[in-house]
Amino acid sequence: MLVSRKALIVGIDSYNAASLQGCVRDAKLIKSILSKHENRRPNFQCFQAADENGVVTRAILKRKITDLFEGTADVALLYFAGHGIANNLGGFLVTQDAVRHDEGVSMQDILSLANKAEGIKEIIVLLDCCNSGYFGTTLTLPNDFALLRDGVAVLTASRADQPAIETGSGGIFTKLLISALSGGASDILGKITIASVYSYVDQVMGVWGQRPLFKANISTLISLRDCKPCVPLQELRMLRRDFPTPEFDFKLDPSYEPNKSDPEFAAVVGPRNSKHENIFKRLQKFRAARLLVPVGEDHMYYAAMRKKSCKLTSLGQLYWQLATDEKF
């Protein structure tokens, strides 16, 4: 049976030289959130890289990654939390049997496998480890390892020469990653893409002294996870009805505002109009989603009470066209 969306989730805490504390926990959280969409529909089929004793050796990890990128699928995702290292031999995901000059699985080998995975439409690599930004770079140029094939995207916790910070509860990068996948990085339709995840994580990571790195060669942005839309779809489709044209100015008046108790507007308070008030509630949702703005006022309340109007933003005009074309 074709697995259309599959993920290999790896977390390693126990190392001979220097153990970590939160990587296994982080991996479990990532597995939990990726396995289901917010509405509990199945999402990624998640696999783990460990033997029956929970040990992740170089051979096991290499075999599991090879399996991930074999066959056919719409999306294959690799998540790794553990030690990472970069030396004169390249960058490596460190495994539990690491020894000097054989620290684990080469980042170049992983990229090569990804680039050759012709049966996988989209490949996502998420690395929460030190020196993870080394992924996608090479010691010598030119060569085929330096290029990402179409459909491959990589998001790393740090630059090639930076550590990845871990607190007692896990990696800072993964904490933000989970927040992004929980809805923090969703668009108006509730879709979360790797690009929106990077944007979300990048806004916060700078205060920790490490910078995430995003490398991609993608022509389409797939949704990694679906969350609740900012505006219910049935209401979003009404953009076309509320605004006959993208440039339309929607005229407001006090009948749209249900709360008319402000003494400043005592002279213009009229009877309640439930139809207008329901429309205004919808317009307020559009405003919160940055689809429209009040004209000449900072707030929709004052636009209504002072008989101003509201109009679509550029983003609103885009979704107006999508609604018109029945794209959602």
Please indicate, yes or no, whether residues 57 and 198 belong to a single structural domain of this protein: yes
Distance of CA 236 to the CA centre of its chain: 22
Structural domain ending residue among the three candidates 226, 242, 267: 226
261 has a pLDDT exceeding 70: no
Cis peptide upstream of residue 229 (ω within 30 degrees of 0): no
Please indicate, yes or no, whether residues 222 and 246 belong to a single structural domain of this protein: no
Q: Where are the beta strands (DSSP E) in 21-151?
A: 45-48, 73-81, 84-87, 90-99, 102-106, 120-128
96 has a pLDDT exceeding 80: yes
146 has a pLDDT exceeding 60: no
Domain span at residue 250 reads 233-324
Structural domain ending residue among the three candidates 226, 247, 268: 226
Confidence of residue 167 (pLDDT cuts 50, 70, 90): confident
150 has a pLDDT exceeding 60: yes
Structural domain ending residue among the three candidates 226, 252, 281: 226
Please indicate, yes or no, whether residues 64 and 10 belong to a single structural domain of this protein: yes
Please indicate, yes or no, whether residues 188 and 289 belong to a single structural domain of this protein: no
pLDDT tens digits for range 290-321: 999 999 999 999 999 999 999 999 999 999 99
141 has a pLDDT exceeding 70: no
209 has a pLDDT exceeding 80: no
pTM over 0.95: no
* Total of domains in the chain: 2
Please indicate, yes or no, whether residues 100 and 80 belong to a single structural domain of this protein: yes
Q: Report the pLDDT value the prediction gives residue 70, as an integer from 0 to 100.
A: 96
Q: Which CATH number belongs to the domain containing residue 237 in this structure?
A: 1.10.10
Please indicate, yes or no, whether residues 164 and 180 belong to a single structural domain of this protein: yes
CB 107 within 8 A of CB 90: yes
Confidence of residue 212 (pLDDT cuts 50, 70, 90): very high
Please indicate, yes or no, whether residues 249 and 215 belong to a single structural domain of this protein: no
Please indicate, yes or no, whether residues 24 and 79 belong to a single structural domain of this protein: yes
pLDDT tens digits for range 9-56: 999 999 988 899 999 999 999 999 999 999 999 999 999 998 778 899
Mean pLDDT computed over every residue of the chain:
91
Confidence of residue 145 (pLDDT cuts 50, 70, 90): very low
- Go through the chain and tell me how many residues it has: 328
Q: Any idea what DSSP says for residue 36?
A: B
253-to-106, 170, 243 alpha-carbon distances in Å: 65, 52, 16
Please indicate, yes or no, whether residues 187 and 240 belong to a single structural domain of this protein: no
Q: Report the pLDDT value the prediction gives residue 269, as an integer from 0 to 100.
A: 58
Q: Report the pLDDT value the prediction gives residue 266, as an integer from 0 to 100.
A: 58
Please indicate, yes or no, whether residues 167 and 250 belong to a single structural domain of this protein: no
Distance of CA 122 to the CA centre of its chain: 15
139 has a pLDDT exceeding 70: no
| Number of other residues whose CB lies within 10 A of the CB of residue 216 | 18
Please indicate, yes or no, whether residues 90 and 218 belong to a single structural domain of this protein: yes
Confidence of residue 134 (pLDDT cuts 50, 70, 90): very high
Tokens describing residue 44: 């990624």
Please indicate, yes or no, whether residues 254 and 129 belong to a single structural domain of this protein: no
CB 290 within 8 A of CB 315: yes
Q: Report the pLDDT value the prediction gives residue 297, as an integer from 0 to 100.
A: 97
Q: Which CATH number belongs to the domain containing residue 58 in this structure?
A: 3.40.50.1460
Element (H, E) at 324: helix 314-324
Confidence of residue 168 (pLDDT cuts 50, 70, 90): confident
Give the pairing type, strands 102-106 and 170-171. unpaired
pLDDT tens digits for range 114-123: 999 999 999 9
Q: Report the pLDDT value the prediction gives residue 310, as an integer from 0 to 100.
A: 98
